[in-house]
Structures are given as structure tokens and as C-alpha cells.
Chains A and B, each alone.
Chain A
Amino acid sequence: MADYTISDLEYYNRRIEEAAAEFGLDCYPQEFEICNYEDMLSYEAYSGMPSRYPHWSFGKAWERKKTYYRYNLVGLPYEMVINSNPCLAYLMKENSLLLQVLTIAHVYGHNDFFKNNRLFKDGTRADYTTEMFKSHANRLREYIADPSIGYNRVERVLDAAHALRFQVHRITNEKHLPPDELRKRMMASYYNSQPAGPGPAAKKEVPDWNQIPLEPDEDILLFLMRYARLTDWEKDIINIVREETRYFIPQIETKIMNEGWASFWHYRILNHLQLPQEMHLEFIKRHNQVVCAHEGGLNPYHLGFEMWRKLERESNDRHRIFTIREQERDVSFIRRYLDEELCRELNLFQYRQTGTNYLVTEVSDQPGWKNIRDTLVANAGMNGVPVIKVIDIGTGNVLDLAQEQDGRELLLKYAHETLKYIASLWGHKVRLHLKVNGSYQNIVCDHQDIYVTNSPS
């Protein structure tokens, strides 16, 4: 049974709020929902959303988490918090008072981050988070209930859209011009490049204004919505999945910063609270569990916490860390602020898989740490997702895709299956240009058959 009452939580919350304000955190109004273990599992499976559209992948997520918890493969979640205004967080009823206090302080760290980090500010609309997910859920349920559509057809589109959910514009706060605008701008830039008066025309090839897409486009979902022969409800489902991805991208892009920031503040706030000794000891123990290094893995709480601590230690201006949390994302955060000293302190090393073993390819010394930092950057946030661009619609409506080459190669089995999903939405052949074992290939998906053709370059 719980060793606390709501008024205990309110007491500590008041003190935490005061401390947070004093330290300069700037938060949305906060709401806590206290739920039991089972409800927490459900919230986890549905990314914390009170309402979400139905799909088997959420059922799978639930089963997997349940299995993991049952076998203690991962600890129970202390908390979940979603980027919304008011900020909504869940506390698990079964946790001890100290864990609740720790979690509450941690949540205010996230809350501040959601409200102030530029990716969240510009890329999401926190005022409408829960409404958006609810409206998506309602629309999807309507399609399922519609006798002319039904569960199976909805699921088919959802499965395909899920397979492509991260193939969208990565920078969510950037303006992407619709094709007409882009065409106008390209024309202007072409004509401006031509000499105004008589004289030899500049040798610039006339762009093909009718090319689709005008430029290689990484937003495959948007492309399919625009150009594939889909019904309105199919387009809407794809749009729903795409909107939700765009909501999650800032979280993916700031995982290390965000978790580090929340850990940094819960640590500072709880120390400030001057808890009774017994609670303080439990706090130190729990805190160390959260931010410890995972040997052979990379704990974002650990890396983020240590980076923020070091930044704060070395900053003369106390506003500096607040500016950094506002401006950066994991990629730039690591590139700018992870230095040799910290790499060495954290014993970071770089590996490469060789069969079932791993080869240590780089350690944190001079000059190795720079490679380590760059590898971290290359895998951080959306950089972990391959960039596949739509290049062209070829003869016979073949959809031509190409993987951007940076030395990393795709997992082929997954690429094949994903291509089948694209083909099922596109309705014609799909061809992916990529490198396999160092040489260029085309993988063609014709209906549901996959075959490979060699490609010169």
C-alpha cells in the first residue's frame, strides 16, 4: 500500500514548484494523474496519450512491456509525461513517496524543456496535443465503423503508413513549399541567373518544370498523399500518422538533452529540499540508478546528466544553460559540448560489429574522441533513421527512390518489406537505388515480388 497521501504529494509539490521557480524553470501549468501499474502500462503503450487510434502495434507494445516488466528486464516506469499545455504527467500509485517526489521534480524539468526548447515551441502545438490525438482516434474509428471501409482496409493503410512513419520531413519547424511555390521560386532563380541584356546566355540547363518531384523529396508520406491514387480516407489516415510523427520528432531529436535536463533538475531540486535522512538516502540510491552508465550500452539519462552538469560547472553566466536548452537539439548539443575530457570520464568507446563479436574501433583519447563524438552525432535523433528520397516517377509509373549515401547500409530484409508497403500504396512498381556491400543496386518491388537489378552508379 502506498506510504503517502495526496496531501503529502501536494506538500512536496508546492516546495518543488517553489524551488523550480527560484532556479529559473519556466513551466506550463502541471497536472498529475495517479494511476496504477496496469494503467501505466497502457499509457506507455499509447505514448502517454489519453486517447489514441486503435492499431495492433499498440497491443504488441503492451504485451512486450508487460513481458519485460514481469521478467525484470526493465524497471517499472517511474513516470510518463507528455508535451502538452497543461503538461500532463502520470505517477504510478504503487511507488514510494520518495519516488513520487523524485518523479514530480523530474517532470518539471521536462515541462520546462517542452515549453522552451525551440523544436517543441516551433514544431508542436502543445495547447492542442490531447485534442489532436483524440480527433485522430475519432476519425479512424469512424473509418472503421463505416461499412464501405471497415477494419481490414483501415488496418492495411495504417500498417503501410506505420512502416513509413519516419520517412517525413525531419525538420518540423521548417517551412516546406508546396510544389507550385517551389516551381515559381525555381523559375525565378533560373531567370535571374540569365543575363538581363544581350549577350551569351549563361550555361545553365533549363530545369524540367514538370518533374515530379521538383527536387528529391524525403517526405515519402506527403508525396504519396499528393501523388498516389488514394481515396480521401486513405490520405487522411496517412496524414494522421504523419502528423503524429511530427509531434514525436522533437522528442526523438532531444532525447539526451531532455532526459539529461530533467535529471539535472530533479537532482538539484531534491538536494535543495533537504529531505529527512531516510528519504535522502533513498533519493541518492534511486538517482544513481537512473543516471548510471549502462556498460555496453548508452544511457541517455547518464550522458545528458553529465553533459548538463559539466556545462553548468563551466558556465560563468547562469543563463547560459537555459539558452542552450532553448536552442539546441541532441545533434548540435553533442557536437558543440561533448569534449575529450567528458568522453574519457564516461569511458565512451566506439565499436563495430564483426559477426557475433564486437571490435573496439576507437577509444576516448586524443585524437580518437572526435570520431566518437561524430559517431554519436551520426546516430543521434533522426540521424538514426535512413534518409530515403523520392527522385522521380519513371516510365510505367515506376516510383524511383534513392537512399542518401553516408556509408551506412540498410538492413535488407526490412527494406524489402517496407518497399512492399510503399508499393501497396503507390499501386505500381517501386524501385530503390542503394548500396549493398559497397556496390550500387536497385531493389525493385513489383506488386509483392522483390528482385534486384544491378546498377552502374
Chain B
Amino acid sequence: MAIFRDYDSGGRDRSAEDRRRHRQLVEDSIKKNIGNIIAEESIIGKSRDKVIKIPIRGLKEYQFIYGENRPGVVSGTGAEKRGDQIRGRQQSQDPGHGQAGSEEGEDYFETDITLEELIQYLFEDLELPNMERKKFSYVETERSHKRWGIQRKGIPPRLARKRSMQEKIKRQKSMERAYRELGQDWEQERFPFREEDLRYQRVKPDLRPQSNAVVICMMDNSGSMYQSKKFLARSFFFLLYQFVRYRYINVELVFINHTTTAREVNEEEFFHKGESGGTFISSAYAKALEVISERYSPEVWNIYAFHCSDGDNWVQDIPKAIALAGELCSQCNLFGYGEINETSAQFYKPEKTMIDQFDDHLQAANFMSVTIDNKDDIWPAFKKLLTIADKE
């Protein structure tokens, strides 16, 4: 007669450690392949607190397996004839216990990750460049409290339990010794804490000087910026925006959209509104200079300006744009220009796009240009933009 027994795991989560390790390896691979993940449209524009489920390509367990060039056998309806084409995915033939991995298989599964976490992976190793501490622009931010030794007086939540215990033991031991020296037996059932045993953590606010910074985001919103290009630009700015918010509390953001004229807009409009029309790049730079002179004096503000465009500027506007870009460079710590060169949608290409014009005519050490051809370029372009400025 068979035995039946209730299994009790005793609350032990048996696979926890292997899951943790797997997750850690997945995270490492996320970091390595971050570009592809941020390029996924689905995460752009989500709130950072939101827990998103990212389909993670599981870590592959490589083995020698056959490719697709071999025949297989499956069940059908009976209506199949030789030479029929069947669309889509055939369920693969499972060769064994699920152990013999002779099929590549889809190793997709999901993992819960907050956007916050994702952003942390992204920016862990980056510093916004050139945080040249401008003299009058320190802002002391109280981020947290640091422990700063032990004191005898304090409030109960800061009770240093271990230290208090040590003090009590000290007192107990010395009492014992004292009795011993007197040749007396000392026995006491209880040895309670006394006020004098208690110790408290001393804390001091952790003040970190932070520079004021303003990031001016400019985006070409003209008709030649097709939707796909705008998406690339938006992905790029999304990164920038998240990065700034992530790392620097005292950073202000300015959003400027432009076609032939430029407007300062809010974040929502900047990312989500499309317009059409021609392109005067200079209009955006003029607007940026105006905003700087009105609100962000370079004396006290670190200014970072970024502009994304497809580079298809009106010919008449080019000299003016170069001149104003030069002026922007003199006001900013860094001026970056990203050109979206999405080739598939290119019906014609000007002989020289703005990036060539800038490279030829704009001599400023704190200018940086990048090109973005497809979504894989976004992350490298972003890193390039942020890391160049050290040479200033």
C-alpha cells in the first residue's frame, strides 16, 4: 500500500538562490545589451514608478543542437498535401524529457522591473560631464543622514542596541570582578539595563553640494522629421530626461520645439506633439539664447544644450544657424547636436546636412555631434555625447 504524505517545505523557498543568481546574470546581460532594451518603443513615455514587465531573452543554455534545415513530423488535420505551404510557427518536436535541448526554443520570459531600476542600470556608470562647479551655483541638498559616531543622549529610534548591550556587559563584568576581589559571591537573577548603559547613534545630515544645471532640449518638429525619426529623437531625449532626473535633483529642463519658428513647450508637448512645416534651425538656437539670457545666467548655471534634427535645414538659414550655434557654445558647458539619419525614409538627401556644416564651420571644443541611424545607435550616441566634454 502506497504511502501518502503531506509535503511541508517549512516555508523554505528552494529555488530562491538559483533564481537570484539567474536574475543577477540577466541583469548583467541587461546592462550589456541596454541599447536594445531602451530602443523598445514600449518603455518610452512610461512613468518611472511603474513596474513594467520586460520580456527578457533568458540566458541561453548553449549546447550542440540542430538547426532548422532538417525535416520534422507533426500531427495535422489530414487535409495536408505534399507541397502545401503552411504559414507561421510550427510547434517544435520535443525530442525528449525537455532535457535534451535539441531545439533552440524561445527562451522568452518576463521579469518584473521598474523603469527606475532600468534607469539605474543605464546610468550607474555615467556622470553628467563638466559639472564645473560654478562658484555661486552650489546648492546644498540634504539627501540623507549619515551616522556620525555614538552619543549618550538621544532619541529612542536612534538607540544603538549593540553598543548599549556592550556597555551593559561591561558593567556586569566589572561588577562581578569587584565582588570577586572582595571575596564575595555575587549572584543576581536579573541584571537590567540602566540609563547609563544606553548609547545612541549620532547622525548628521549628509549635505552634498550640487551644481545648478539646466538642460535645454531642442527638437526639430518639421515636416521632414518623419514619425520614425521623431521616435528616435524622442527616445534620445527620453534618455536624457530620465538621466537628468535620476542623477541631479537641482536640474531644470527647458524644452524647445521648432519648425521655422521656435516655441518653448512643456514636457508633454515636447514628446508627444508633432507639427509640420519647414526648418529654420537658427530659430531654436535663438530661442535657447533668449531663454538663457532671461533665466539662466551662465555665471550661476551650468548649461547643457542638446538639439536633435534630421539635418535638413533651409539653405538660407545655414550661416545664421552656425553663427548662433557658435554663440550657444560660448554660453554653454556643452552643446550637443544629434542628427537623425534614418535612411529608409530618405527620399532625397541634401548634399551637406547640418552635421557636415557644423563639422566644417563650427570650431568649439565643447561642441559634439552624433548621428543616429537606427535605434541601436541611440545608446552609443547618448554615451558619446555625455562623455566627450571632459576635454574642455
A57 touches B20 (CB 8 A): no
Q: Are B83 and A360 in touch, CB under 8 angstroms? A: yes
Asked if residues A46 and B99 are in contact (CB atoms below 8 Å), the reply is no
B104's contact among A60, A361, A411, by CB below 8 Å, is which? Answer: A411
Name the one of A64, A155, A382, A409 contacting B96, with C-beta atoms under 8 angstroms: A382
Q: Is B42 an interface residue (CB 8 A)?
A: no
Interface flag for A333 (CB, 8 Å): no
Cβ–Cβ contact A375 & B66, under 8 A? no
Contact A384 B100 (CB under 8 A): yes
Number of cross-chain contacts by CB at 8 Å: 281
Residues of A near B4 (CB, < 8 A) are 6, 9-10, 13, 32, 34
Give the contacting residue for A361; candidates B20, B71, B101; CB below 8 A. B71
In the complex, B102 has a CB within 8 A of chain A: yes
From residue 73 to 106 of chain A, which have CB atoms closer than 8 A to chain B? 86, 90, 104
Q: Does B64 contact A (CB under 8 A)?
A: yes
Q: Determine if B14 is an interface residue (Cβ-Cβ < 8 Å).
A: yes
Do the beta carbons of B18 and A411 come within 8 Å of each other? no
Of the stretches B84-92, B125-133, B184-192, the one at the interface is B84-92
* A302 at the binding interface (Cβ < 8 Å): yes
Q: Across the interface, which residues of B come within 8 angstroms of A349, CB to CB?
A: 73-74, 76, 80
Q: Tell me the bound Cα distance from A10 to B1 in angstroms.
A: 9
A197–B197 CA distance with the chains assembled, in angstroms: 103
Task: Give the residues in chain A near B63, CB-CB below 8 Å.
Answer: 162-166, 385, 414, 418
Among the listed stretches A177-185, A247-255, A315-323, A423-431, which one makes contact with chain B, having 4 or more residues with CB under 8 Å of it? A247-255
Q: Are A255 and B97 in contact (CB under 8 A)?
A: yes
Which stretch from A224-232, A274-282, A290-298 is at the chain B interface? A290-298
- List A contacts of B70 (CB < 8 A): 352, 378-379, 407-409
- Known A-B contacts A293-B75, A297-B93, A347-B75; the reply to A411 vs B82 at CB < 8 A is no
Contact indicator A359/B73 (Cβ below 8 Å):
no
Q: B136 at the A/B interface (Cβ < 8 Å)? A: no
Mask for A21-37, Cβ within 8 A of B = 1, else 0? 00000000111111110
Nearest A residue to B66, CB-CB: A408
Is the CB of B149 closer than 8 A to any CB of chain A?
Answer: no
Q: How large is the interface on A (under 10, 10 to 19, 20 to 34, 35 or more residues)?
A: 35 or more
Asked if B75 and A348 make an inter-chain contact with CB atoms under 8 angstroms apart, the answer reads yes
Is A135 at the interface (CB under 8 A from chain B)? no
The answer to whether B71 and A298 touch across the interface, beta carbons within 8 angstroms, is: no
Q: A90-B7, A296-B74 are in contact. Are A163 and B82 (CB under 8 A)?
A: no
Given the interface pairs A35-B7, A59-B22, the reply to whether A410 lies near B72 with Cβ below 8 Å is no
Closest-CB distance, A276 to chain B (whole angstroms) = 21
Instruction: State whether the Cβ of B15 lies closer than 8 Å to any Cβ in chain A.
Output: yes
Residues of chain B within 8 A of A414, CB atoms compared: 60, 62-65, 104
List 25 interface pairs A-B (beta carbons < 8 Å), by A numbering. Answer: A6-B4, A29-B2, A31-B2, A33-B7, A34-B7, A39-B14, A56-B21, A60-B18, A166-B101, A255-B94, A293-B75, A294-B74, A296-B90, A297-B90, A297-B91, A348-B75, A358-B88, A360-B82, A363-B81, A382-B96, A384-B96, A386-B64, A409-B67, A411-B67, A418-B64
Apart from A39-B7, A248-B97, A418-B62, 18 more pairs, CB < 8 Å: A29-B2, A32-B2, A32-B5, A56-B59, A57-B22, A59-B19, A63-B22, A166-B101, A296-B75, A296-B91, A351-B90, A352-B70, A359-B86, A360-B85, A376-B73, A410-B65, A414-B63, A421-B62
Top-5 shortest CB links A-B: A384-B95, A297-B91, A59-B18, A252-B96, A384-B102
